[in-house]
């Protein structure tokens, strides 16, 4: 696995960033994770678009030149020698004296890593995974993909300790937002529902693709508030994310969901998504 830190390439375990980097001190930065399928970055334009929105959201002025980044990613992927890889890209406000307000003359810092993809096991894809629900105690700007992930880290750990794969955030007692590192969809009475882009969730690149697949394939789909009861009574639930792709949920808080096995809508969406990743030019 390799890292690129402001132009310096090294083995990932040896890569260094300055102590005074604001990403380290304040979580003052944003990031992206994208997949490489058969040596080619997938949905790069969508990730670059979201990165630009995240940068604007935290007022980091970084000239994103998509073509330059694409070339850099291609070079690093080739150097890492993985056909199937994950690319992590982080931009922080940079390193300077420690003060909360933006220091004058602070230059943003860019870091990239290329690692082997850690995909869910086959059994998880075929049998589905369990989730737990946790109160959504995050800030009001969850559409920004910021490196401040402490609530997400604590939620995921809680899921692990409960023997579940993911923790799903619930707002105001009964409104589902998203997973700690995934978006969520529920199917009930043949209608697919996913929470809207209202600042409480990340605009997932996979979410967006799944919505377009669903519309193409003629599944009724709505972006609207998803109550906890809807989730509990759903016939099918699935998570979406860059590394998990489309992952069936078959248990909520230890209770089997619907028929207890991945359903036909989830399978159809997963298959259509796989065709997309396999057919990218």
For the chain, the distance separating the N- and C-terminal CA atoms, rounded to the nearest angstrom, is 25
Of these, 92, 181, 194, 266, which contacts ligand PLP (CB under 6 A)?
181
Closest CA to 183 of 226, 124, 148, 214: 226
Alpha helices, H only, 11-134: 22-26, 44-57, 66-80, 122-127
Per CB under 6 A, the segment of 14-22, 119-127, 158-166, 176-184 that binds ligand PLP is 176-184
54 touches ligand PLP by CB under 6 A: no
Number of residues that bind ligand PLP (CB under 6 A): 14
Of these, 23, 204, 248, 263, which contacts ligand PLP (CB under 6 A)?
204
Tell me how far, at minimum, the Cβ of 33 lies from ligand PLP, in Å: 6
Q: How many other CB atoms sit within 10 Å of the CB of residue 233?
A: 13
156 touches ligand PLP by CB under 6 A: no
Helix (H) or strand (E) holding 230: helix 228-233
Binding mask 242-261 for ligand PLP (x = CB under 6 A): x-------------------
Q: 155: helix, coil or strand?
A: helix
Of these, 55, 202, 221, 231, which contacts ligand PLP (CB under 6 A)?
202
Closest CA to 86 of 58, 124, 47: 47
Tell me how far, at minimum, the Cβ of 7 lies from ligand PLP, in Å: 26
Closest CA to 119 of 274, 280, 261, 255: 274
28 touches ligand PLP by CB under 6 A: no
Whether the CB-CB separation of 146 and 32 falls below 8 Å is answered with: no
205 touches ligand PLP by CB under 6 A: yes
Residues that bind ligand PLP (CB under 6 A): 33, 152, 178, 181-183, 202, 204-207, 240-242
């Amino acid at each position: 696995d390799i890292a690129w830190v402001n132009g310096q390439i090294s083995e990932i375990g040896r890569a260094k960033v300055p102590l005074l980097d604001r990403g380290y001190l304040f979580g003052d930065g944003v990031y992206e994770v994208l997949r490489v399928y058969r040596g080619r970055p997938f949905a790069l334009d969508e990730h670059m678009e979201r990165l630009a929105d995240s940068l604007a959201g935290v007022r980091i002025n970084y000239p994103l030149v998509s073509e330059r980044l694409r070339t850099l990613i291609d070079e690093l992927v080739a150097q890492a020698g993985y056909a199937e890889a994950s690319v992590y890209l982080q931009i922080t406000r940079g390193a300077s004296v420690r003060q909360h307000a933006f220091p004058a003359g602070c230059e943003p810092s860019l870091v990239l890593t290329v690692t082997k993809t850690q995909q869910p096991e086959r059994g998880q894809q075929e049998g589905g995974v369990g989730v737990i629900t946790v109160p959504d105690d995050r800030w009001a700007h969850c559409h920004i993909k910021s490196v401040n992930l402490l609530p997400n880290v604590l939620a995921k750990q809680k899921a692990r300790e409960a023997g579940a794969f993911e923790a799903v955030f619930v707002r105001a007692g009964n409104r589902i937002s998203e997973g700690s590192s995934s978006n969520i969809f529920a199917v009930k009475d043949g209608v697919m529902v996913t929470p809207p882009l209202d600042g409480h969730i990340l605009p997932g690149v996979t979410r967006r693709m799944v919505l377009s697949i669903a519309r193409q394939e003629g599944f009724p789909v709505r972006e609207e508030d998803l109550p906890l009861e809807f989730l509990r009574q759903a016939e099918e639930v699935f998570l979406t994310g860059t590394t998990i792709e489309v992952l069936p949920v078959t248990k909520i808080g230890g209770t089997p969901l619907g028929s207890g096995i991945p359903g036909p809508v989830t399978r159809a969406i997963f298959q259509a998504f796989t065709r997309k990743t396999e057919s990218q030019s």
